[in-house]
Amino acid sequence: MAMVDESSPSALERLLEVGTDEDIQRLLLALSPPETADLLEELADGETRARVFRLILGRKQARVLRDMDAEERVELVEQLPAEETAGVLEYMKSDDAADVLQQLDEEHQQEVLDALDPEDRVEIEKVLEYPEDSAGGIMQTELVRVRAASSVRDAIEEIRRTAEDTGELHEVFVVDGEGHLVGWVKERDLILAEDATRIGAITTQVPVTVPVDMDQEEIATFVQDYDLSSVPVVDAQNHLVGRILVDDILDVIQEEADEDILRQGGSRAEELDAPTIAMAVRSRFPWLVVTFCGGILAAFIMTAAEGAIRHAGALFAFIPVIMGTGGASGTQTATVTVRSLVTGRIDTSDLMWVVLKELAVGVVMAVVTGLMLLVVVQLRGGDLLVAGIAAGALFGTIFLGTMFGVVIPLVMHRVGVDPAAATGPFVTTLNDVLGSSIIWALCLWLV
Amino acid sequence: MAMVDESSPSALERLLEVGTDEDIQRLLLALSPPETADLLEELADGETRARVFRLILGRKQARVLRDMDAEERVELVEQLPAEETAGVLEYMKSDDAADVLQQLDEEHQQEVLDALDPEDRVEIEKVLEYPEDSAGGIMQTELVRVRAASSVRDAIEEIRRTAEDTGELHEVFVVDGEGHLVGWVKERDLILAEDATRIGAITTQVPVTVPVDMDQEEIATFVQDYDLSSVPVVDAQNHLVGRILVDDILDVIQEEADEDILRQGGSRAEELDAPTIAMAVRSRFPWLVVTFCGGILAAFIMTAAEGAIRHAGALFAFIPVIMGTGGASGTQTATVTVRSLVTGRIDTSDLMWVVLKELAVGVVMAVVTGLMLLVVVQLRGGDLLVAGIAAGALFGTIFLGTMFGVVIPLVMHRVGVDPAAATGPFVTTLNDVLGSSIIWALCLWLV
């Protein structure tokens, strides 16, 4: 559906200057919550956003607030009294409300919690207890529980009672007297069952549950194998504590992809949501320093080889091709290895095969590009001895680069560090230093 | 849930040698479809896979086949007669069946289509008609349609009639006499309604529909803004032609992230699913050649500057730091710009701000690293004039690299090319050549 014309920020800005509150309300009524959220983000500051936000009707405020980007949302919430924010959060599901609260400073967060209805507060605090990127931190606690002994009619009554809070229903969870998860009943089976049917008779097994402390990235990989609309979250004693809807997993996959892609490019995902100059410099500079230090180290190694260098001055024209190609092949290997690890595609019981395969690929690439270098020099009528040394250095750099590209992520994964940090500037820099070291060693050896 | 012990390939392999078919069937009964799919993938060849596959019971075969990775699945299907494959596909939803067929060669695909039940064949051919990565190519055509004038009781009958084919239900679609989409009724509203209620009275507006030719990446970005379990797909006349379930969008996001991450690292996503040496060389080599050619070009430029070089020989130790840091900052800018474009985060109405922001970041980084270079040389007691020239080249390379990093993806996006191709080796190589050109120009100018 195309963006309707009313949703352009200029229309709203004009109304903010010359229109009445009724005009603005009329404009807002025509917009869906995501469109309204986009519109609020475009406004100049938190104060203007708060003015427009107050003109949105009751329950829709909650949807709009949830759909806004973090930065603009915080600016808006800072303009609202704690009681007003609490009133909006009460319309939200616990995971979304916890999201909003997590971004506020501690004092403000406490004020809003204090202003909440005690029952909602308990639900939200349950989610806040868990790390933001664990199953507990992204689950919603609102769901429908029934006992196996109850009837379909009882379940329908329970659904009716909780309809306001639950959002999408998808299924009713069946628990025993201690709250242990026994199974679930899908909505369709409820529709097709008779009112008097016992729930236990239409309960099916839940194909997969996740523990409350499971990392969200792991959940995403895990859940993709099953076609589910939601996954129950259980504690160590198999008590049902919440559920994660698949559309929340969408956000997780997107978030993790952002993180890995930005890290691979030498920055941080935070930059995507806060595209300011200061944030860009903060998130990119550390990586640039790593690359810079690698380059300086290479410079020192070269200067140390100065004696040797005079005998093979022509070798220096080949530095870019050796460093560039060596860096690129290391990055390729690291990218493939890391992505395979992160998405659970590497069979960790057969790591030797993974390493040997990469080394074989490295040898093929190194031999072919080494020969290409010799051919190019031959065609240009250059010095073949110099070209031979350069080709040897190219071979060594690609081979070692490939080895580091596969071994470093595997070791990081084994010791429990996220291997994604091994892609990008890290391996490239290592290869830069390696490239110059190999040239240096070859020069000294040949002098 | 941990993998059960029976699912280890060695247990199955032992049974394949010494056990009876009944033993194998008993082992398979204990496994979920995704576990069975993993197990089949581990087996040595298509023939063994076909032998085990035939021991899986009826409907479960369809689930297992759907869950297998492409390569192993094709090897398995090649071993089955067309009639047998058709029999399994009839248990699948149209989008999954189309997936399987798309991977077969044309002749084999036609044989299986001919062997299908005519009704199923029509459904699957509808999906095959559309490009694999469009809404039409990933939608399922099985869904429940009702008329606004019918009653809840009629809808329940229709749900019962189609229960075998539909998979997850989520909602019933309301259409008019010509098949135009009018709205939908969520499952919960059906549960809570009385049998005699008219469907029109509980129909709600569908918050968002996608056109049948929309690209899957666009759908993913689009759907994430709404919390939906499925999205209706409509043709140009608003006829309902299918629906896309959110768990299929999960696969799309993962697929697109794989593609972008591998491309950024200088390879192709195909490598993840077919980790062989030949595939790795095929997908990485083209990028390595790009880098190689950039390096060779830089070598030529340097050789051309040989006269100048003799006057500033010490400059060469700085080549790695200039090329490395310049390449890295270009990659950073390209990564952030591309990811922002791909995920719809860039406000394309204000491109001037995007470019100016990046250039400002570039200037900050260039000045700081340039100064760092001067300080390092000063501390080492080096030649400050040489260091000054190097710092100037560093500044120029970073600045130009940043500019290319932001402008190239924006231009590609504008002319309709996927900007993701601008990350990785492309920008790095450009910066390598640029770096050496700037040094060359500075040398000539200073001689």
Q: How far, in Å, CA of B132 to CA of B137, rounded?
A: 5
Inter-residue contact A248 to A95 (CB < 8 Å):
yes
Edge-to-edge, what's the strand order for the sheet holding A145-147? Answer: A145-147, A171-175, A181-186
B244 and chain A in contact, CB less than 8 A: no
The whole-angstrom distance between B218's CA and the closest CA on chain A is: 12
Q: Which residues of chain B from 143 to 162 reach within 8 Å of chain A, CB to CB?
A: 156, 159-160
pTM across the whole model = 0.72
Helix boundaries (H) for B70-229:
70-77, 82-89, 94-102, 106-115, 118-128, 135-138, 152-166, 187-192, 199-202, 216-224
Determine whether the interchain pair B299/A318 forms a contact, defined as Cβ–Cβ distance below 8 Å: yes
> Residue B46 corresponds to which tokens in the numbers above?
């298509």
A61 and chain B in contact, CB less than 8 A: no
Scanning the structure block, which residue is given the tokens 């790591």? A351
Q: Which of A254, A256, A291 to mutate to test the interface with B (most CBs of B within 10 A)?
A: A291
A209 and chain B in contact, CB less than 8 A: yes
Inter-residue contact B101 to B89 (CB < 8 Å):
yes
**Half-sphere exposure at residue B398, Cβ-oriented, CA atoms within 13 angstroms:** 31
Dihedral sign computed on CA atoms, order B338, B344, B349, B350: negative
Scanning the structure block, which residue is given the tokens 């500051």? A45
Tell me which residues of chain A have a pLDDT lower than 50: 1-6
Count of CB atoms situated within 10 Å of the CB of B348: 11
Edge-to-edge, what's the strand order for the sheet holding B145-147? Answer: B145-147, B171-175, B181-186
B302 and chain A in contact, CB less than 8 A: yes
Region(s) of chain A under CATH 1.25.60.10 = 5-138
B366 and chain A in contact, CB less than 8 A: no
CATH 1.10.1060.10 fits A5-138, yes or no: no
Region(s) of chain A under CATH 3.10.580.10 = 145-247
Q: Which residue of B has its CA nearest to A329?
A: B288
Region(s) of chain A under CATH 1.10.357.20 = 283-446
Q: Which residues of chain B from 16 to 45 reach within 8 Å of chain A, CB to CB?
A: 32, 34
pLDDT (0 to 100) of residue A169: 86
Q: Which residue of A has its CA nearest to B251?
A: A224
Burial (CB count <10 Å: 0-12, 13-18, 19+), residue A281? middle
Local confidence pLDDT in tens for the 447 residues of chain B? 333 344 566 778 788 888 888 888 888 888 888 888 888 888 878 888 888 998 888 788 988 998 888 888 888 999 999 999 999 998 888 888 888 898 888 899 999 999 998 988 988 888 888 888 899 989 988 899 999 999 999 999 999 998 877 778 899 999 999 999 999 999 999 999 999 999 999 999 998 899 999 998 888 877 777 778 889 999 999 999 999 988 888 888 888 888 888 888 888 888 787 777 888 888 888 887 887 888 778 777 777 766 655 555 667 778 888 888 888 888 888 888 888 888 777 777 778 888 998 899 889 989 998 898 888 888 877 777 778 888 888 898 889 888 988 999 999 888 888 887 777 777 778 887 887 788 777 776 775
Candidates A220, A215, A273, A209; CA nearest to A247 is A220
pLDDT (0 to 100) of residue A9: 63
Scanning the structure block, which residue is given the tokens 């130790």? B317
pLDDT (0 to 100) of residue A2: 35
Region(s) of chain B under CATH 1.10.357.20 = 270-446
Count of CB atoms situated within 10 Å of the CB of A359: 17
* Assigned superfamily of B5-129: MgtE N-terminal domain-like (1.25.60.10)
Region(s) of chain B under CATH 1.25.60.10 = 5-129
Domain A283-446 architecture: Orthogonal Bundle (1.10)
Q: Which residue of A has its CA nearest to B207?
A: A32
Inter-residue contact A88 to A62 (CB < 8 Å):
yes
The helix (run of H) or strand (run of E) holding residue A231 is strand A230-234
pLDDT (0 to 100) of residue A58: 76
Residue B393 CA, distance from chain mean position? 38
For the domain bounded by B145-245, which CATH number is listed?
Answer: 3.10.580.10
Chain B positions in Cβ-Cβ contact with residue A358 (cut-off 8 Å): 280
Determine whether the interchain pair B343/A245 forms a contact, defined as Cβ–Cβ distance below 8 Å: no
With both helix axes pointing from N to C terminus, report the angle between A82-89 and A94-102 in degrees, rounded to the nearest 10: 150
The helix (run of H) or strand (run of E) holding residue B421 is none
Count of CB atoms situated within 10 Å of the CB of B220: 26
Chain A positions in Cβ-Cβ contact with residue B313 (cut-off 8 Å): 313
Classify each residue of A54-77 as buried b or exposed e, where b means 16 or more C-beta atoms within 10 Å of its C-beta.
Answer: ebbeeebbbbbbbbbeebbbbbbb
pLDDT (0 to 100) of residue B180: 94
The whole-angstrom distance between A412's CA and the closest CA on chain B is: 19
For the domain bounded by A145-247, which CATH number is listed?
Answer: 3.10.580.10
Give the angle A344-A346-A348 at the CA atoms, nearest 5°. 105
Residue A178, CA distances (Å) to A142, A174, A203, A286, B424 in order: 18, 11, 18, 51, 55
Inter-residue contact B444 to B393 (CB < 8 Å):
no
Q: How far, in Å, CA of B295 to CA of A316, rounded?
A: 12
Among B159, B316, B331, the residue with its CB nearest the CB of A192 is B159
Classify each residue of B137-157 as buried b or exposed e, where b means 16 or more C-beta atoms within 10 Å of its C-beta.
Answer: bbbbbbbbebbbebbbeebbe
Looking at residue B302, its amino acid is M
Inter-residue contact B414 to B322 (CB < 8 Å):
no
**Half-sphere exposure at residue B68, Cβ-oriented, CA atoms within 13 angstroms:** 28
Cβ-Cβ contacts under 8 Å between A and B: the total is: 346
Q: How far, in Å, CA of B352 to CA of A410, rounded?
A: 42
pLDDT (0 to 100) of residue A227: 75
Q: 3-class DSSP state for residue B176?
A: coil
Inter-residue contact A152 to A193 (CB < 8 Å):
yes
Mind listing the pLDDT tens digit for each residue in A301-343? Answer: 777 766 655 555 667 778 888 888 888 888 888 888 888 888 7
Q: Which class in CATH covers the domain with range B270-446?
A: mainly alpha
Q: How far, in Å, CA of A129 to CA of A43, rounded?
A: 34
Inter-residue contact B172 to B204 (CB < 8 Å):
no
The whole-angstrom distance between A107's CA and the closest CA on chain B is: 30
Q: What is the largest CA-CA distance in chain B?
A: 95
Inter-residue contact B377 to B305 (CB < 8 Å):
no
Inter-residue contact A89 to A97 (CB < 8 Å):
yes
Region(s) of chain B under CATH 3.10.580.10 = 145-245
Phi/psi at A170 (5° precision)? 65, -50
